[in-house]
Chains A and B, each alone.
Chain A
């Protein structure tokens, strides 16, 4: 594909959207370098000596931490894969009662920060929680020794809850992939006598695999960098080791080395997945006729089963924790509903919206440049730029601090030397730093979504457009963007919701006297005062829902207009 496109060379340099491909490459590299800076800063920090920390860690806690981390990743990975793919397949390819509602209800758990769900379930399931009180009442048990009840604060608890919060990543990407699959291919499968199961395993699943892999990778990176949930559940992972070393033993270098090790692990995982499908290329061809995807009408028990399969994650990941939060928010309403509260909500909203838009823009530039020019350099730069997602937020925050402060201090020093004026800190401690951190952190999410949508667009479309004399930028605006609109909307939506929930980087980078809902919730949550934190958490969820609802209506509209106007994927 790349070679075919590279034939069309443009002469001279023009500004605006018409700039030639090598300018796209240049811009892409610049953006990717900028975004990669914090990760590079972390790796650079890791190169400094860290004393005798490693022998100590290896001799004591590290093997256990690594084991727990692997179990956690395996558990969450399996859980999101099964839940995400199953539900996505059911709502796109099957007919059963409630399918249309489930289609967007299944997104809702995304709005919950994992740590908030962890608090909510602990409140519900611990010894003094409603469930055990009820059981004790019914069975007349007196003390904890009288009966066995699963411990919420455990590895199993962490796997279950993180799985239920993170499966929407897989669901979204898989659903989009199933949506965009070609009717022709499915019909061919039918003609060849494949039933629903064989069609799923032989045709749909392989075609959707790149998208599903991205979804699972995102969920796993989130699992790996999480600290709030595992810390609350007393589950000790690599992140625990990282913060022991950094905060407890005062060695940032040691912490950065652990972070770098985790990064290497992520890179390895992603490479293995990519390598395993290196031969596979799936383009779904343009057809001139449009039809709804053929679907399987489920009856009787299979219909009920599908219904339950979709209902369960929504119940566990949304309805139950929401109920817990609402109850607490009502009890503690007077303590929580203060004058500042509304401004915190507004801060969160505008900050997340800005960051989400910019992230999408950056993702679009990178993904499209990659499509135009390809090549190893861009590929590697892009991979490094999207690693921000795999770094724990607090470490990434420091990764942002370092280059920003370096820039500010260098400018300041130059100005002092040459003009005798001090410019102070220009960017550090401003919202620019916060927004930048969000972009770095969540670029992987947007990029995954945009890349996977773009990859479905057949290169023949680019060739046709270019033959007609459209420049690269125009082709993007006129043809690609309308085609991948659905994917773009999804990308913006997830990034927005993720920004609403982001805590550690926001904490360290935000300016004086500036609070978001997440930092406000943290005041109390860090002290395990769930009651006082409830209203804030509830608001994060509700504000996070706005775009989910808004965009899910837009996505289905986007598909229906696309279908009626005759453009296809």
Chain B
């Protein structure tokens, strides 16, 4: 028995060492904060068109440190993220290089890219308010600022105040209203919460369906995701979608984006992949598959997005949002948002 186990053990070690693959020409290596199920189909399409193989590894915590410690020998060419914060962290750590925007894509709006081309937004996502169809008059709430109105006391749900999406929203409030007012706003929102912040954006919509709360703040594409899952369709159907602040600055937006690493060994292929994702095909895939808003104008949206129609976006530069992040997290601590 022992011998058998020993043989199996040695066999598995040998099998594993065979798996190690080295980067080669005709490839591009991707470190991704994005979930594979969303982006793999797009990589597959890219490989089909160009013959360039995409190697990817998906992780969150420690990615920046990984790039940093690997230094000039890092195999990574591109980093994909789903939030402005990480893009800006990687850039500030000096791990990116600039890409000439004219070569990459000319019509990405200025506020969705780094001025020198160190990172680019590929899609945008709107932080929307959803409200119960049954219990909330759709005209009763129209701005982020309205969330602190005492009439919503005990009726609002959000995810953790320290999640990147909430942090970015708070950071934009700081940019627009100043630190003190933003603090008052966050404390007011905390005061109106129906329960301790928990779960992801989807879970908040579910809570509305269940009657735990009446209003929630979520990223827009979760609506599309829920409508694709038979069990979750009733959740999505229980709420109205509200794009906030249409009469003033516009709805807070975040980006999913990409950056070229400083020591990218396959730079040409990497830029080809960036070009592909910013092309009509790539941008349409984002919209059709995941209902994200393409950064590029003139791209067909998904039916759901069309049904919501166009809306005014907050034009605040995302670099500013990124700079306010640490302050926003401290604010969440100060008002005990998550307690």
Instruction: State the total of A-B contacts with C-beta under 8 angstroms.
Output: 164
On chain B, the residues within 8 Å of A425 by CB distance are: 70, 73-75
Contact A351–B16 (Cβ < 8 Å): yes
- Which one, B16, B207, B211, contacts A431 given CB within 8 A? B16
Q: Does A564 contact B (CB under 8 A)?
A: no
Q: Which of A517-563 contact B (CB under 8 A)?
A: 519, 523-524, 526-528, 531, 554
Interface magnitude class on chain A: 35 or more
Contact B70–A405 (Cβ < 8 Å): yes
Binds B, one of A70-78, A86-94, A503-511: A503-511
A523-B37, A531-B231 known; A398 vs B62 contact (CB < 8 Å):
yes
Q: Does A459 contact B (CB under 8 A)?
A: no
Q: Which of B51-98 contact A (CB under 8 A)?
A: 55-63, 65-66, 69-75, 89, 92
Chain B min CB distance to A53 (Å)? 9
Q: Which of B286-339 contact A (CB under 8 A)?
A: 325-326, 329-330, 333-334, 336, 338-339
Chain A min CB distance to B39 (Å)? 11
- Which one, A57, A347, A351, A398, contacts B65 given CB within 8 A? A398
Binds B, one of A97-105, A240-248, A279-287, A469-477: A240-248
Contact A128–B61 (Cβ < 8 Å): no
Provide the bound-state CA to CA distance between A514 and B36, in Å: 12
Chain A min CB distance to B75 (Å)? 6
Q: Does B140 contact A (CB under 8 A)?
A: no
On chain A, the residues within 8 Å of B73 by CB distance are: 405, 408-409, 412, 422, 424-425
Chain B min CB distance to A49 (Å)? 15
Of A57, A233, A249, A526, chain B has the most CB atoms within 10 Å of the CB of: A249
**Residue-wise interface mask of A (266-283) relative to B, using a CB-CB cutoff of 8 A (1 in contact, 0 not):** 000000000000000000
A61-B336, A127-B212, A528-B202 known; A248 vs B66 contact (CB < 8 Å):
no
On chain A, the residues within 8 Å of B197 by CB distance are: 234
Q: Which of A110-140 contact B (CB under 8 A)?
A: 127-128
Contact B210–A508 (Cβ < 8 Å): no
Contact B62–A144 (Cβ < 8 Å): no
Chain B min CB distance to A322 (Å)? 21
A247-B61, A401-B62 known; A60 vs B333 contact (CB < 8 Å):
yes
Q: Does A15 contact B (CB under 8 A)?
A: no
Chain B min CB distance to A335 (Å)? 10
A247-B61, A429-B75, A528-B203 known; A56 vs B338 contact (CB < 8 Å):
no
Besides the known contacts A249-B329, A250-B89, A527-B202, 9 further A-B residue pairs in the complex with CB atoms under 8 A apart: A250-B325, A354-B16, A401-B70, A404-B69, A431-B16, A511-B57, A512-B21, A523-B37, A531-B231
Shortest 3 CB-CB distances between A and B: which pairs? A350-B12, A405-B69, A512-B55
Which residues of chain B have a CB within 8 Å of any CB of chain A? 1, 8-9, 12-13, 15-17, 19-21, 23, 29, 35-37, 55-63, 65-66, 69-75, 89, 92, 160, 162, 164, 167, 196-200, 202-203, 206-207, 209-212, 229, 231, 325-326, 329-330, 333-334, 336, 338-339
